[in-house]
Chains A and B, each alone.
Chain A
Amino acid sequence: MATTIEDPLRTGAARGRSERAARAGVGPLERQRRRVFWPFAAPALLVYAVLFVAPVGYALWTSLHRWDGMGGMDWRGLQNYTLLFRDPRFRTSLFNTLELMVVGGTITFVLSFALTLVLREMRARLFARSVLFFPSLVNGMVFGIAAGFLFSPTGPVNRALELFGVTTPPKWLATDNLLPMVLGTLVWTATGYYTSIIMAAVDQIPDHLYEAAELDGAGPFQRFRHVTLPCAWDVIAVCAVLWTVSSVKIFELILLYGGSTNAYPPVSSWNTAVYVYTEAFPQGTVPRLGTATAAAIVSLAMVTLITVVLRRLLRREPIEY
C-alpha cells in the first residue's frame, strides 16, 4: 500500500518547487525537519501502536487459537482459516462484502458524477450540497428505526407510489429485499458524502477551463469528461479508496434492517463484518473468538489487496492548472 498514499501527495505545483530546492542541498530547513521528525511523530505513533497496532497483533495471535474469551487459549495453527473457507456461510459473506463494495461503489460514483454535472450549475447549490451531505452524519440506528415506519405496507413510501399509479409496490421490508435495502441506504448516504467532497474539488477548477471548453463547443458531458474528471481525478481516486475501506465495515445497517430482537439477520445477507460479530457474540453459546478474528483478518487482507490494485488502476499523471 506504499504507493497508495505517496502518489496523490506528489501533485500540486507550489509544493514541487520547494521540494526540489530542499532536496538539492541539505539546507537549514531540511536539517531542522530531520531533527524534529521523531519528536513530532513519536506521540501519535506511540498512541497508534498501543491502541491500534497492538490490538490488531493480538487479534492475529488470537486467530491462531481456539478461545472463548475467558479461559485459556488452545493453539490451532491455521485450522481456523481452513475451516472458514470450507464454511459456505463465510463464502457467502465474502461475496456479499464484495457485492456491496463493487455494486454500491459503482452506483454511488455514477450518481455522484451525475450530481456534479448538475450541482455545478444549479442555484442554491451550497445549500443543496449541505443537505445531501447530512445523512452521513446520522447514526445508523436512526435509519433502522425509521425504515420500519417509512416502508411499511401502508407507509408513506407506498402512499407516494400510489400517486404515481403503482398499486402493487414491492415488499420493501421482506427478507429478499434486505440487501437491496441496505444497498439503497448506503448509496443514499454515500452519494451525498462523496458528491460533496468531489464538488469541493470541482469548485477549485478555474472557470476559464470550462469557458474554453464551451467555446470549443463541448456539451455538459464533454466538459465533464475533459475538464472535471481529469482535474478532480486525485480527489476521486482517494474517494474510491475511502469507499473501498469503509464498505468492508458496513455492519450496523445489516443488523438493524435484518435482525430482530430474537435473531440475527438471515444468513444469506451477512457480510464479513456481521459474520465476525455473530462468531464473537453468538446466542446461547460461548464466543468463538478464534474464528471471529480469523474472519476479520481475512477481510482485512482482502481490503488491503483490493486497495493496492485500485490505486494502481487509478494512477494517472497529475494535471496542473
Chain B
Amino acid sequence: MSAARIVGAATAAALVLGVSACGSGSGSDAKASGGFTYWSMWRADEPQAKVIKAAIDDFTATTGAKVSVTWAGRDIAKKIGPAIAANQAPDLWDESDDKVYGTTAAAGQALDLSPVLQLPVPGEDVPVSHVIPAKYFDMLPKDPSGSNHYVIPYEVVTNAMFYNAADPAVAAAMPTPPTDWAGLLGVCDALKAAGKACIASEGEDPWTNGLFLDYLLNGAGVNVAELSADRSGAAWDNPAVLAAAQQVEQLVRGGHLIEGYDATKFPAQETNWTAGKAAFYMDGNYVTSEVARQVPAGWKMASILPPTAKTPDAGLFGFAIPKRARNAAAAQRFIAFFLQKKHLSGISTTALNITPRSDIPAPAELADVQKTLEAPSLRLSFDGVGGSWLPKVLNENYLDLWHGKSTAARFVATCRADQVTYWQTQG
C-alpha cells in the first residue's frame, strides 16, 4: 500500500502543480470559481434529478460556480468506494443514509458536515440547523470520529402500511385505525369476510416483510441493533422477541397475506394491491410515486403504522461529501443553497415526496405520512442494524416464518444459533 500511497501523493502533487501552472485551464475551473463535481443517485429522467438540476442552474447563475454533474443512478453506491480508493471521488454525492454510512462514513471516509448546519440558508436569514430538525441526525449511527452529521437530508421517508382510503371495503372493515395487534387481526378478519386479502406482500423480500417484525419489536421495547450485537445470542431469549414473532405468525397462519404471495416476484403483488385485491401494502412512502401510473382514478392514499409501534422509522436521502473531496467548501455551499424553500419545495411538488422541512407541505397523498414524521423522535428501520447480519442471520429465517414453513419458536431458535456462529466468523 505504501507504494500506492506514494503514487497517490505524486498524483495529487501533479494536480496541484497543474492547477497553479495553467491558472484558468479547464481542469482547474472548478477550483478557481468555487465549482465542484457532483454524482447523483438519480437518473437524469427522474423528477428528483429535474429539481436538483434546476437548483444547480440557479446556483451557477447566482454564484458563477460551475457544477459538473454525473447522473449516475442507484449503482452509485457500488462506485463511490472504488472511486474514493482511487482518489477520483466527486466533491458531492447523494444516497440514502444507510448507503452513505455503509459505503463511506463507517470507514471514516465521509466529511463531518456540521459546518453546513451553521451556514445561512440563502435568502432566509436562518442557519441550516434551523430548518432541518435535529431528530433526523440523532437517529443515525456515529462514524469513527463520533459525528452523525455525515449526510444532510433533502428528502425523508418512512415505512408504513399503505392503503386506499377510498376503498369502501377497507373503510367498512376499519372505521378507525386499530390500536393494538388484536385490533389489526380484527380488521383482517373483517376484510377476509368481505372477500379481500388483508396484506399484499412481495414474498421474496425479507426487508419490507421484516418491517412488521421490526415495528412489533419496537412496540415491545426491543432494539434490533442491540439484539443483533449480542455475541452470546442470549438476547433472543427475551420473551418479548418470541411474542413479536408469534404475532407475525398470527398474520401468516390466519391467512391474512394475499394468496400466492410466496410464489411471485416484485412488482406482482404491488400490482395486485393497486388493483384492489388486498387492503394494505407495507413499504416506504415512495410507494406512492412507484404506483402513481397504475392506481385507478379516485384512489386516496393513506397509511397507518402497525399497531403498538412506539417510534416511527425514517430514512433519509441526502447529500454527503467524501473526506478526500477537493472542493468541499463549494459543495457545502451548494447543500445550504439547495435547502432554501424555493428549491427544496420541488421535492414535494415535482418529485412528490416529503422534505425534512416541516414548513414545506407534503403532497396530498402523503399528508398522513408527514404527520407520522412529526413525531418527536424517530429511528432507523431495524434500528440501523447493518452489514451481513441481515442476510446471514435474519433474512432467510424470517422468510421461512413468513412463508409459514417455520414457527415462531423455531424462528427464534435458529436466529439465536445463527447469530452465535455469525459473530464467531466476524474476526
Interface residues of chain A, those whose CB is within 8 Å of chain B, are 66, 68-73, 76, 79-80, 83-84, 86-89, 147-148, 152-153, 171-176, 258, 260-264, 266-268, 278-279, 281-287
Chain B residues touching A, range: 35 or more
* Smallest beta-carbon distance B89→chain A, Å: 9
Q: Are B425 and A87 in contact (CB under 8 A)?
A: yes
Chain B hits for A284, CB < 8 A: 98-99, 101-102, 384-387, 390
* B263 nearest in chain A by CB position: A171
> Complex: how many Å from CA A172 to CA B106?
39
Chain A hits for B102, CB < 8 A: 282-286
Chain B hits for A88, CB < 8 A: 421
The 5 closest A-B pairs by CB, nearest first: A284-B386, A285-B387, A171-B263, A262-B207, A148-B265
* Smallest beta-carbon distance A50→chain B, Å: 15
* B80 nearest in chain A by CB position: A70
Chain B hits for A72, CB < 8 A: 1
B26 interface contact, C-beta 8 A: no
Chain A hits for B205, CB < 8 A: 260-263
Chain A hits for B98, CB < 8 A: 283-284
> Complex: how many Å from CA A76 to CA B426?
13
Q: Which label, helix, strand, loop or mixed, suits the secondary structure of the A interface?
A: loop
* B389 nearest in chain A by CB position: A285
Chain B hits for A261, CB < 8 A: 205, 266
> Complex: how many Å from CA A286 to CA B105?
9
> Complex: how many Å from CA A175 to CA B392?
15
> Complex: how many Å from CA A157 to CA B390?
33
Other 13 A-B pairs with CB < 8 A, given A70-B107, A79-B427: A69-B85, A70-B81, A70-B84, A71-B107, A89-B392, A171-B263, A173-B263, A260-B206, A261-B266, A263-B391, A264-B395, A281-B77, A286-B103
Q: Are A152 and B263 in contact (CB under 8 A)?
A: yes
Given contacts A73-B1, A148-B265, A263-B395, contact A285 B386 (CB under 8 A): yes
Chain A hits for B268, CB < 8 A: 148, 152
> What are 26 A-to-B residue pairs whose CB atoms are below 8 Å?
A70-B81, A79-B427, A83-B425, A84-B425, A86-B421, A86-B424, A87-B425, A153-B260, A173-B204, A173-B263, A173-B264, A175-B203, A175-B204, A175-B262, A175-B396, A175-B403, A261-B205, A262-B205, A262-B208, A263-B395, A266-B396, A284-B99, A284-B102, A284-B387, A285-B102, A285-B387
Given contacts A70-B109, A83-B425, A86-B425, contact A148 B264 (CB under 8 A): yes
Q: Are A286 and B204 in contact (CB under 8 A)?
A: no
> Complex: how many Å from CA A73 to CA B1?
7
Partner of A267, one of B78, B260, B385, B392: B392
Chain A hits for B104, CB < 8 A: 70
Chain A hits for B108, CB < 8 A: 71
Chain A hits for B264, CB < 8 A: 148, 152-153, 173
* Smallest beta-carbon distance A201→chain B, Å: 39
- Considering only residues 86-134 of chain B, those with a C-beta below 8 Å from chain A are 98-99, 101-104, 106-109
Chain A hits for B260, CB < 8 A: 153, 171
Chain B hits for A89, CB < 8 A: 392, 425
* B265 nearest in chain A by CB position: A148
> Complex: how many Å from CA A66 to CA B106?
15
Q: Are A267 and B107 in contact (CB under 8 A)?
A: no
Q: Are B206 and A153 in contact (CB under 8 A)?
A: no
Q: Are A68 and B265 in contact (CB under 8 A)?
A: no
Contact flags B270-298 to A (C-beta < 8 A → 1, else 0) = 00000000000000000000000000000
